[in-house]
Amino acid sequence: MRGLGLQVLALCLQVAAPSTPLSHVDQYEVVWPQRLPAAPRARRALPSHLDLYPETVSYILGTQGHNFTLHLRKNRDLVGSGYTETYRAANGSQVVEHPQRQGHCFYQGHVEGHQHSAASLSTCAGLRGFFWAGSDVHLIEPLDGDGEEGQHALYRAEHLQQKAGTCGVSNTSLEKALGPRILAAFRPQSWPLSRDTRFVELYVVTDSAEFQRLGSRGAVRSRVMEVVNHVDKLYQELNFRVVLVGLEMWNHKDQIHVSSNPDVTLDNFLRWRTQNLVGRHQHDNAQLITGVEFTGTTVGLAKVAAVCSQDSGAVNQDHNLENPIGVASTMAHEMGHNLGMDHDENIQGCYCPVPREGGGCIMAASIGARFPRMFSQCSRADLEMFMEKPRTACLANAPDPSRLVGDPVCGNLFVERGEQCDCGPPQACRNPCCNATTCQLSAGAQCAQGACCRSCRVTPAGELCRPPKDACDLEEYCDGQQPVCPEDVFQENGTPCPGGYCYNGVCPVLARRCQDLWGLGSRVAVETCYTYSISPGCQGGLAHGSSRVNNCGILYCEGGQKPLKRSYCTLTSHAGTCKALVLEGGAGYEPVPEGTKCDLLERTLPAPASLQIQKLLRPVQQPWGVQPQGRVSLPPGLGAAPLHRAAAPRAHRVQEPPGGRAGICGAAGRSPGRSGLLPEGPAPRLWEEHGAQDCQGALQPPVPRGARCASQGWGSSPDHPLQRARRAHSLYSDP
């Protein structure tokens, strides 16, 4: 082996630089990869006549300073068998193809002799991709189309020319502080992620600008798969797998307005996803790759903590046409925001094991000269806390083994047909219950993983495997038959909880929301505030009052001193102070969260006089970059974005004990959500009322449970009993 490596090294040093230098790389070395002969061994894979690319392959790269031996395994789980490709025909009609099962050329692996190493490459037309060994990230790509053993350019990541990128985060949905946070002192520093592998079923959309840059559907397909292969490799350290379930190419015309303003593009894309994509293709997360250059240094934008909701998506600028690692790093970062991760710089005491000059960590706010390759401890902590929420249950449904492309492959962390367990390759497996070589249970073992598996035995029925997280969650118990805990379920919408009613698995309370936004000491503003309306962006100078109390409109708070990243308006009257956060672009204000309890008592207040609006208050303006305290300052407009809220809100009324009347704020077009199994006994009654602007205006005579109402009043639609046993999967997986 060593002699072969020296021989390759000698060949490499004799190769002259190609006649056409790479314009996108500052400096590189020319190498000739040498493919090593495959060792004969039994494997479960497609016959060679059906698959042009082997299951495993190894290459030696000889350079002036090192010899790298790459051991690669095909990523059989890159694409699901339900995978579709969607594009537009010449006449503008939509075409949806279901490609037949076929081999592909995308691999993952490691570098021999380096304990902490990884590789993500394609062998479709030569070697293209990245690998890291030690502290260096290396990129490789073919020259002159010579194939896998022809001339290749090998260079370090810092030599790739690219746009200096930052991330603009849209985080209204983040249920943590908007200001800097401190890593909890009493939490363990090693964050134990779930032993069960989580799965993100990913749908990727490319816009017309990206298609024009790449030139063909085949080129777009190859680039997207290379990107997803890299993202999947990065997430494996978190016990996550990313599976591509759909690719949509807007090859003729964009289906939305793709703006150079990333906020506008994100809002348009998420609206399109909800209205167009969700109903026709099951997925957990959608990512747009655009060839449009965003203004400033922003290369990606995402909603935070949005997976399994209508905001589960992000937009990513493909900022380097020649090498996809840039947009892959951006997508991994934005997907991290969707999974509840904040920027590392926003958390005091955050530890990243890789210095910035070495690439830093994936959730850094900006991309340096080297690409990040791992997650920080604070990102792991954010993910762990986010995964505790009931609404993340869509990530627990592993793709059915029959939905994965390719025959079973032992060692890929997927339990596939014919396998009883899969703990990864033998050198990485630490599970005594699983034979890593055969992917069968060890002798005498009943199970290898799961919350109901202990010491390789299935735990008895009735043992608690998932305690309730809060008043709106339900506990789950082992059934004595399966090693996994039953699916997570939560209380039915309308179940009383402290200060409110359960709504889609959470207990929204106004006072808690004010503290989330403004910090400790903040509280809900006086009732008079809720009679005022303000023009968008604090324009007009006056806030006009009404005798009507709007419980489900603008969220008004008072008090609190948390540093903000967003602009806000302040009204001052004899009754108190009213503060309202401005949404991105100045188009509106932070709304009362959907599902919040509101008063249904018949009453009006004296119409207050108009108030003078204090000038628009903005956060302290500082240039982009890391400040001395380790925080990242954001310009106005890159704070949070609104939760999805329809133009015509409506209220839901819940039956209360005698003496009280209340409802919950909602939005038109939203389903009541998913609820769990309830104990036997009377359930709270829940009605939907259409067209009400707030709880005050929603008062109607009692109607039968589940009755529907027409747009002009109460209609005569047939009864529609509410389901009491809805499972907690993705909001959009219902037929």
Tens-place pLDDT, residues 27-82: 888 999 999 887 554 344 434 434 568 889 999 998 777 789 999 999 988 998 78
- pLDDT score, position 229: 95
Query: CA 97 from chain center: how many Å?
Result: 26
H helix or E strand, kind and range, residue 88: strand 79-88
Q: How far apart are CA 288 and CA 317, in angstroms?
A: 8
Q: What is the pLDDT of residues 290-345, one digit of tens each?
A: 999 999 888 999 999 999 888 999 999 998 777 888 899 999 999 999 999 999 98
- pLDDT score, position 16: 41
The pTM for the full model equals 0.59
Per-residue pLDDT averaged across 123-127, rounded? 88
Any idea which of 63-72, 374-383, 581-590, 703-712 has the lowest mean pLDDT? 703-712
List phi, psi (to 5°) of 325.
-65, -30
Q: How far apart are CA 575 and CA 214, in angstroms?
A: 61
Per-residue pLDDT averaged across 90-115, rounded? 85
User: CATH number of the domain at 450-486, please?
Assistant: 4.10.70.10
Under the banding of pLDDT at 50, 70 and 90, the label for residue 603 is very low
pLDDT at 103 over 50: yes
Count the neighbouring beta carbons within 10 Å of the beta carbon of residue 115. 8
pLDDT at 598 over 80: no
Q: What is the pLDDT of residues 456-474, one digit of tens each?
A: 999 999 999 988 888 888 8
- Both tokens of residue 259? 């703006």
The mean pLDDT of the chain is 72
The response to whether 333 counts as a known ligand-binding position is yes
The rounded percent of the chain whose pLDDT value lies above 90 is 30
Buried b (16+ CB within 10 A) or exposed e, 528-562: bbbbbebeebbeeeebebeebbbbbbbbbbbbbeb
- pLDDT score, position 587: 65
Q: How far apart are CA 379 and CA 191, in angstroms?
A: 10
Count the neighbouring beta carbons within 10 Å of the beta carbon of residue 331. 30
- Both tokens of residue 306? 């949005």
Q: What is the pLDDT of residues 554-570, one digit of tens each?
A: 899 998 876 666 678 88
pLDDT at 221 over 90: yes
Determine contact, residues 581/562, Cβ cutoff 8 Å. no
CATH 3.40.50.300 fits 2-173+188-394, yes or no: no
Under the banding of pLDDT at 50, 70 and 90, the label for residue 178 is very low
Query: CA 22 from chain center: how many Å?
Result: 34
Per-residue pLDDT averaged across 638-652, rounded? 31
Q: How far apart are CA 243 and CA 232, in angstroms?
A: 8
Q: How far apart are CA 7 and CA 730, in angstroms?
A: 55
Strands (E) located in 421-490: 434-435, 440-441, 453-454, 457-458, 464-466, 476-477
Determine contact, residues 79/224, Cβ cutoff 8 Å. no
Q: Which residues contact 342 (CB under 8 A, 6 or more apart)?
A: 169, 171, 174, 176, 181, 304, 363, 378, 382
Per-residue pLDDT averaged across 154-175, rounded? 62
CA-wise closest residue to 302 among 291, 289, 287: 287
Under the banding of pLDDT at 50, 70 and 90, the label for residue 520 is confident
Q: How far apart are CA 582 and CA 589, in angstroms?
A: 5
CA-wise closest residue to 604 among 661, 528, 665, 655: 528
Determine contact, residues 289/327, Cβ cutoff 8 Å. yes
Domain boundaries, given as residue ranges, for the chain:
2-173+188-394, 408-449, 450-486, 497-612
- pLDDT score, position 606: 52
- What does the H/E/C string look like for 584-640? HHHCCECECCCCCEEECCCCCCCCCCCEEECCCECCCCCCCCECCCCCECCCCCCCC
Q: How far apart are CA 263 and CA 271, in angstroms?
A: 12
CA-wise closest residue to 533 among 500, 569, 567, 563: 569
State yes or no: is 158 an active-site residue. no
Determine contact, residues 440/449, Cβ cutoff 8 Å. no
Q: What is the pLDDT of residues 675-688, one digit of tens each?
A: 333 233 333 333 22
Options 29, 201, 210, 334, the catalytic residue = 334
Q: What is the pLDDT of residues 257-275, one digit of tens each?
A: 999 999 999 999 999 999 9
Q: How far apart are CA 332 and CA 239, in angstroms?
A: 14
pLDDT at 651 over 50: no
Q: What is the pLDDT of residues 194-207, one digit of tens each?
A: 557 888 999 999 99
Higher pLDDT, 397 or 702: 397
- pLDDT score, position 382: 92
Per-residue pLDDT averaged across 352-371, rounded? 80
pLDDT at 242 over 50: yes
- pLDDT score, position 611: 52
CA-wise closest residue to 508 among 347, 663, 668, 328: 663
The response to whether 343 counts as a known ligand-binding position is yes
pLDDT at 695 over 50: no
Q: How far apart are CA 202 and CA 332, in angstroms?
A: 12
Q: How far apart are CA 130 and CA 359, in angstroms?
A: 13
